[in-house]
Structure 1
Amino acid sequence: MFKIEEIKELIQLINESNVNDFSYEQDGTKLKIKKNYGEQVMVSAVQTVPQTKPQIVEMASAPLETAAKEEKPEVNENLHKITSPMVGTFYASSSPDKDAYVKVGDKVTKDSVVCIIEAMKLFNEITAEVDGEIVEILVKDGELVEYGEPLFLVKA
């Protein structure tokens, strides 16, 4: 499987070149990158080696960032973790000019929308799942998140 850093480097190289379509296969994993004219790059990686759960990664970004993902702090087991139900891009608000859905200290109900995860051009609203108070936001706006990755800590 490709490492996220390797994919980010490939995206940057493709973005800076005149290449519009790029495909690559390594150890049974296929990677396909298409560059659109709107300064966006679409990436899809599919694991073709049999696994219990094949992984599909889709991401679009403009501009591209190559910063490495920071290690997350240890999570207090007494707090409820709101986790990502999918691989995608985390957005704290419905648009860049709007306020974040929640911030640290906000009270939420189980039906409160706390963020959006964008996957394959679909924007999925994520709810708090419990009544409580937001104690910590574990990811940054625009950051790529993995399935099951903790996004928020809530004091129930």
Structure 2
Amino acid sequence: MLKVQEIRELIKLVDQSSIDEFTYESEGSKIKMKKKVQGQQVVVEPVQAVSETPKPAPPSPTTSVIKKEEPKQEVKHEEVQEDTNLHKITSPMVGTFYQSPSPDKDAYVKTGSKVSKDSIVCIVEAMKLFNEIEAEVNGEIIEVLVKDGQLVEYGQPLFLVKSE
């Protein structure tokens, strides 16, 4: 069976591609993904195939991850709507969040840092590629929402910025 990280990366790739449906079968397990025509939503339907020797089916890692992550994202979305001057800098991909260019260097930004549209605020590593993430707005970092080295999801808020 695929690991949760591998499934997340498959979801990201399907979401960014022009295909509408994707099916993967391996070792008696099947994963089927469909997305809306507009490309706004990716639906993952894990399907456990019947094997010749009955085994207890482990809980689906994709189901538990999706159920745990959705409420957190909704809560943060409501917090942002309370103050219209706040902008969320979100992760453009699934990967590992790094706040500095290397472990021995200072963080790109911290709470209270002033940023411009093209300021680099962090790095998200995905498949051994280090992607620099820009602020997208002029303003001040109000809150860093993730910890250094933390796994982040596609679209997950990383920073709250009070825009100018």
Report if TM-score (shorter chain) is over 0.5: yes
1:76 aligns with 2:95: no
| Matches for 1:28-107 after TM superposition, within 5 Å | 28-29=30-31, 49-52=32-35, 53=42, 71=72, 74=76, 75-77=79-81, 78=84, 79-107=86-114
> Is the Cα contact below 8 Å between 2:80 and 2:88 reproduced in 1?
no
> Quick one: which amino acid aligns to residue 118 of structure 1?
E
What is the distance in 1 between the residues matched to 2:28 and 2:108?
Answer: 40
Structure 1 residue 150: deviation in Å? 0.3
Taking a change above 3 Å as real, the CA distance of residues 28 and 93 of structure 1, as seen in their structure-2 partners, is: same
String of CA shifts for 1:53-74, please: whole Å, max 9, x gaps: 488xxxxxxxxxxxx99x5763
Structure 1 residue 96: deviation in Å? 0.6
Q: What's the secondary structure of 1:76's corresponding residue? A: helix
TM-score normalised by structure 2 residue count? 0.57
Aligned length: 107
String of CA shifts for 1:79-137, please: whole Å, max 9, x gaps: 10000000000000011111000000000000000000000000000000000000000
**Aligned-residue CA RMSD (Å):** 3.0
The equivalent residue for 1:142 is: 149
Instruction: Tell me which of 99, 112, 118 is aligned to 1:111.
Output: 118
> Is the Cα contact below 8 Å between 2:93 and 2:153 reproduced in 1?
yes
What is the distance in 2 between the residues matched to 1:83 and 1:25?
Answer: 35
Instruction: Tell me which of 140, 145, 163 is aligned to 1:133.
Output: 140
Higher strand share: 1
TM-score normalised by structure 1 residue count? 0.59
What is the distance in 1 between the residues matched to 2:101 and 2:95?
Answer: 15
Structure 1 residue 50: deviation in Å? 3.4
Unaligned runs of 5+ in 2: 8-25, 36-41, 45-67
What is the distance in 1 between the residues matched to 2:144 and 2:110?
Answer: 7
The equivalent residue for 2:161 is: 154
> Quick one: which amino acid aligns to residue 106 of structure 2?
D
Structure 1 residue 51: deviation in Å? 1.4
Taking a change above 3 Å as real, the CA distance of residues 137 and 51 of structure 1, as seen in their structure-2 partners, is: same
